[in-house]
Amino acid sequence: MLDGQASDLRVFALGTDRAGGMATAAQILGGAGTGPGEFQRPTALSVGRDGLVGVFESTGRVHLFGRSREGELEHRTTFQFRMDIEDGCILGHHLVVTGLHSEHSGVVHLFSTAGEWVRSFGRFYDTDNPWVSETIERSLVTCLEGSDEILVAPLFLPEARKYDVLGNLLWWTEFDGLRPIYLAETADGMVGVGTPEDGYHGTIGVTGDVDGGIAILQVGFITRERRESGSDPEISTYVLAADTGEGALLGRDFGRIRDIDGKGAVLSRGVPFPTLRVITWPPSVRQP
């Protein structure tokens, strides 16, 4: 679990907490700071299939952790990329990040796990104004391990896309009935952003399970009252076929789905206090 408020990474052993109780972290790593393995504004956490753990910072730093011989998590290396990172994940031997890169255009940027730039791709809005592009193309990303494919969902556009690691667009799904933010280009070329008084929709999560063949997009309806009170947004959860992008609204207010695979799912809620919930599928629906 990545704790952005405390700026640390906490490792829990599943099955050690009591039902409805409080689990105790087996390890706490990181902490606020600028040194290797220390965090400033951490924004994303990802675990690769080989056990490599990545913590992504909005400042452009990426920290990688791996297992020691004793089985504990330990810091391996830290990279500083010349970009602002919105989100990130690990896909095989690639680090996949979204954000504004100072040298490479596109929404999605691939680096090797050795820190070398590989390629950039993805444009969601046709404009020559970098401020407009930076605002409207802010995106969340998740890596579909085992398929070399990537799910990308813009924060402020009602859509989701799937790419392969070469940058080929595999499908693009738009969602109807969502209320966007206001976006306008000012006379000096800057961007003005406004939010409707009666609320707007914004993407808050994207994940998927390649073995189960599903992709999940979660959209929050954010109102002034909920924002001022610190309440969680009303969440709409869409389930899509991972191979085609076709799908439908599953329901509302499940909580945020942080991860899902053939064994179960991890959900979270922010109020009345931050909570993680681990769900295990019954044996009859588990994937191999």
Mean pLDDT of the 174-193 span: 82
Cα–Cα distance list, 154 to 11, 95, 159, 204, 268 (Å): 29, 19, 7, 9, 21
Amino acid in position 79 = F
Q: Give the type of residue at 184.
A: A
**What is the greatest pairwise CA distance in the chain?**
60
CA-CA-CA-CA dihedral for 102, 103, 104, 110, to nearest 10: -80
The pLDDT, as a whole number, for residue 163 is: 97
Residue type, 188: D
Share of the chain above pLDDT 90, in %: 56
Q: What does the pLDDT read at residue 186?
A: 78
Residue 213: which pLDDT band, with cuts at 50, 70 and 90?
A: very high
**Mean per-residue pLDDT, 144-168:** 93
Q: Is the pLDDT of residue 144 over 90?
A: yes
| Rounded mean pLDDT, 102-121 | 95
The residue with greater pLDDT, 196 or 156, is 156
Measured distance CA(198)–CA(200) in Å, rounded: 7
Per-residue confidence band for 16, with pLDDT thresholds at 50, 70 and 90: low
Contacts with 6 (C-beta within 8 Å, 6 or more apart), sequence order: 31, 32
Give the span between the Cα atoms of 53 and 114, in whole angstroms.
14
- Angstrom distance (rounded) from CA 88 to CA 55: 8
Q: Return mean pLDDT, the chain.
A: 88
Residue 128, pLDDT > 80, answer no
Q: How far apart are CA 91 and CA 109, in angstroms?
A: 12
Specify the pLDDT at position 180: 82
Angle 184-185-186 from CA coordinates, rounded to 5°: 110
The pLDDT value given to residue 228? 77
- 98 or 156, which is more confident: 98
Report which of residues 59 and 276 the model is more confident about. Answer: 59
Reply yes or no on whether the pLDDT at 286 is more than 80: no
Average pLDDT of span 138-142 = 95
Least confident of 29-43, 157-171, 175-189: 175-189
Q: Is the pLDDT of residue 253 over 80?
A: no
